[in-house]
Amino acid sequence: MRSSAARSRNRFILLMLAPATVLLAGLTLIPFVVSVGFSLTNYSLTAPNDIAFIGLGNYLALFSSSEFWNAAWITVLFTVVAVGLQLVLGVGIAALLHHETRAVSALRLIYLLPMAITPVAAVFTFRMMFNPTLGVFNYILKTMGLPAQDWLGSPTMALVSLILVDSWQWTPFILLIAAGGLAALDEEPLEAARMDGAGPMAIFFQHTLPMLFPYLAVAIVFRSIDAFKTFDIIFVLTNGGPGVATRTLNLLAYKQGIEFLSMGYAAAIAIVMLIVTIVASQLFLRRVDLFKPKAAL
Amino acid sequence: MSKSVLPPKGGLHLPITRRSLLQATAILSGAGILSVHGVPVFASEVFDDIKGQWESAKMDWKRQSGATIVLNGVQHPWMDAITPLVPHFTKLTGIEVKVQTQSESEYIASLPVKLGAKSATPDVYMVWALGQAVTAGWLEPLGPMFADPKLTDLAWWDVDDLFPSTRAYQTWADGNQYVVSVTAEAQTLFANKTMLDEKGLALPKTMDELLATAKALKTDDIAGIAMRAKSGDGATWPAGGFVFSYGGAIIGLDGKVAVDQPEAVAAIDMYGKLLREAGPIGSGNYHWMECLNDFMAGAVAMSSDSSNFATDIGNKDKSAVAGQAIYGGMPTAAGKPAKPNIYNWTIGMNPNAANKDAAFLFLLWATSKPTAAMAAAAGLATQRTSAWKTSAFGERFGKQAVSAVLENLNAADADLMKATWFHAKGPQILDAFGIGVNEVVTGAKDAQSAMTAAAEKMRAAIG
């Protein structure tokens, strides 16, 4: 009787899990396995019948290509600077907005708006605003008597402009998590520090920020993964230029896969990106001990 | 095709109005002489008249009645022009056409997957990169169908009505025909005549004059010239025309990389010099959209780009310089013949299409003289000379522009263009070339080293 009930319960659990499992397998696991398989072949959409197993050939070609290392460097630079900037801005704004007033709640809503806008639509608007001749940014500079800037035309400015657009869109994400973290903080240690005579800056940097760090760690991981595979902003604004100054790994994979139809090589780039993402996030999470239970303060 | 040579899309919506339709119909019914002289002859039953011209073909339009085909294309003036006419094809043939229009990025990402998977649809599609498509076997050879009198009334379809460059364009290296052109555009020099007149300057005829004129026109607020220079394949199309006009090639007719040869290097050196010395700030990030918008806003005095821009430039609703533009032939270099770049958008048939005859009927109809004239009446620069001669098209496009563009279309060397753009590794070749041009324009490299680096990448890609 008991065993029949247990079997029935197990069947029920399996039945309930089946849709999610099928979706996971169909949309994630199978494409991943297929991508790994493709990355070990010379598969090209222009010659699908000539597919051949080439082992690690694509990976060896990739690692011996200066194009790959250049793209990897730009990707890391973009990710580190963009996420770093967003962290500073997000936490700063969250701290400023921490004390609830009517104006603050309205401001918080405004700050969150960039996240709600469709990325491509926003990026096309930025493309017009960055236009050196007709764009609003140079118009403002000119009215202030400052020289017009080549926002997307020089290697350094192009990368800076991309980071600014990414930060405009995603700083609110850090802000949201930081604001949630601040609201959940235990006020007692902060009050104790205040009574001990610590100033607001000292309290923030020595007490609030360390206590906030577990929340920020989650934000850093999410944002870094996202920034690492940024595509739309770069594709629309610079298409990887000037030269190849903003050609990131994701853009390189797009070029190889979608434009050149070299699916095996593109799959190898995607797999390398996946491995880098997993390894980097695991190392970071282990270092911050995010999932280790903390003793009560 | 390469993205860089895309005719303008977003800004060029060409609705077929009743007025333009009436004019086109009238011109067609009024025969060539009347249309050449611009005498409007209005028909009372517009669609019946047009139908009569389609029905005059000695072939059975109803032979696949009841079939359904799928037409897939990018957001483009041709799709805008042809889509409203599709119901007339259905009425004529009894064939239903499902029209699928996608954005450029969506199209180039999804179409190879469909064709690579041997999907039966789309039956007919706008061809993105011809070299890739032919090499991959994604296009049905059309030669045998055109040659079969049971399937085609070739005299009615009138191949001689196509521009010579279009006829060359449609012919693949193996002599077969895999696509049919639906547009014809040529690289054309256009300038703001008011600005030229203010400085007492004329439209330049040579490359040296072009540089001198562009520099003379440049002020703090107005750039002398704007041309595409965006990295990747952004800069390739107009820069290609410069290379050809200097007597060079990107890929030679022998199939070898030629972009590092002196002629090509000199051309790209001039291209970079023009934009560095007389271009707008940020030239290195200009695609066709920036060139067109700046010119229409009066922020740029000259450009060398697609002839298709004429429709928008002359549109008072969109352009602040409507009526002020003057169009000219490609400037020459050191006495060599001008060879402006050209581009034809083409359509082709999926070899796995379920009903190839129905798809072929659509190809014939969509590229026929009456259909081309109807599309031209909406301002579309089609592949047919007869459509270019209609007064309806002249009014939409501008008569002076028509004259200049015809000169450029006739001067173009389709074979030089095809050697690069139709190469099986065309996207890789153009990517390397575009990066090199961008580096020269931004001053990151001199022309010789940029083209040498581009040539090395091309050789590696070609193998």
Do B308 and B438 share a structural domain?
Answer: yes
Interval B275-280 mean pLDDT: 96
Q: How confident is the model at residue B33 (pLDDT cuts 50, 70, 90)?
A: very low
Q: Is B305 an 8 Å CB contact of chain A?
A: no
B303 touches chain A (CB under 8 A): no
Q: How far apart are CA A204 and CA B145, in angstroms?
A: 78
Please give the pLDDT value at position B10.
31
**Residue B102 domain-assigned (yes or no):** yes
Per-residue model confidence as pLDDT tens digits over A63-100:
999 999 999 999 999 999 999 999 999 999 988 887 76
pLDDT of residue B39: 29
If pLDDT is split at 50, 70 and 90, which confidence band does B217 have?
very high
Whether residue B221 lies inside any domain: the answer is yes
Query: B122-152: per-residue pLDDT in tens?
Result: 999 999 888 889 988 999 999 999 999 999 9
Q: What is the mean pLDDT of residues A13-32?
A: 90
Averaged pLDDT, B440-463: 95
CA distance B140 to B173: 15
* Chain A residues in contact with B285 (beta carbon < 8 A): 130, 132, 150-153, 158, 237-238, 241-242
Between chain A and chain B, how many beta carbons pairs sit less than 8 Å apart? 107
pLDDT digits (tens, 9 = 90+) for B88-100: 999 999 999 999 9
Q: Does residue B174 lie within any of the structural domains?
A: yes
- Give dist(CA A115, CA A96) in Å, integer: 20
Q: Does A222 touch chain B (CB under 8 A)?
A: no
Residue B6's contacts (CB-CB under 8 Å, 6 or more residues apart) are B76, B104, B288
Q: What are the chain A neighbours of B276 within 8 Å (beta carbons)?
A: none
Residue with more model confidence, A219 or B2: A219
The answer to the question of residue B398 being in a domain is no
Given a cut of 60, whether residue A228 has pLDDT beyond it is yes
Can you tell me the mean pLDDT for B13-37? 43
Q: Are residues B318 and B338 in the same domain?
A: yes
Taking contacts as CB-CB distances below 8 angstroms, the residues of chain A near B435 are 241, 243-244
Shared domain for B101 and B153, answered yes or no, is: yes
Distance from CA of B232 to the nearest CA of A (A): 7
Provide the domain limits for residue B151: 3-184+344-389
Residues B6-13: what's their mean pLDDT? Answer: 35
- The pLDDT tens digits for B330-368 are 999 988 999 999 999 999 999 999 999 999 999 999 999
| Cα nearest neighbour of A254 on chain B | B109
Compute the average pLDDT of residues B222-226: 96
Question: What's the mean pLDDT when you consider all of chain A?
Answer: 89
- Can you tell me the mean pLDDT for B281-290? 88
Among A213-222, B34-43, B244-253, B264-273, which stretch is predicted with the lowest mean pLDDT?
B34-43
DSSP for residue A206:
I
pLDDT of residue A127 exceeding 70, the answer is yes
Quick check: B33 contacting A, CB < 8 Å?
A: no
Q: Centre a 10 Å sphere on the Cβ of residue B39 and count the other Cβ atoms it contains.
A: 12
The confidence score (pLDDT) of residue A190 equals 84
pLDDT beyond 80 at B49: no
Which pLDDT does position B5 carry in this prediction? 39
For residues A179 and A173, give the distance between their C-alpha atoms in angstroms, rounded to a whole number: 10
Q: Which burial class, exposed, middle or buried, applies to B37 when counting CB atoms under 10 A from its CB (0-12, 13-18, 19+)?
A: exposed
pLDDT band of residue B15 (cuts 50, 70, 90) is very low
CB atoms B135 and A261 under 8 Å: no
Q: Which residue of A has its CA nearest to B128?
A: A259
* pLDDT digit string, tens, across residues B59-77: 999 999 999 999 999 988 8
Q: What is the pLDDT of residue A99?
A: 72
B246 within domain boundaries: yes
What mean pLDDT do residues A271-287 have? 91
Burial class (CB in 10 A: 0-12, 13-18, 19+), A164: middle
Q: Is residue B402 part of a domain?
A: no
Residue B405 lies in a domain: no
Lowest mean pLDDT among A187-201, B22-36, B404-418: B22-36
Q: Which is it for the CA torsion B205, B211, B216, B217, positive or negative?
A: positive
Here the CATH number for the domain that contains residue B352 is 3.40.190.10
Please tell me whether residues B247 and B279 are part of one structural domain: yes
- DSSP lists the bridge partners of residue B328 as B189
Inform me whether the pLDDT recorded for B103 exceeds 80.
yes
Can you give the pLDDT at residue B353?
96
B190 with B54, same domain: the answer is no
Least CB–CB distance from B444: residue in A133, A149, A242: A242
Predicted confidence (pLDDT) per residue in A166-203, tens digit: 999 999 999 999 988 988 888 888 888 888 888 888 88
Residue B21 lies in a domain: yes
How many domains, in total, are found in chain B? Answer: 2
pLDDT average, residue stretch B90-111: 91
Are residues B225 and B214 in contact, defined by beta-carbon separation less than 8 angstroms?
A: yes
More confident residue, A81 or B169: A81
Domain A66-259+268-288 annotated CATH 3.30.70.580 = no
B379, B307 in Cβ contact below 8 A?
no
Closest in A48, A151, A255 to B116, CB measured? A48
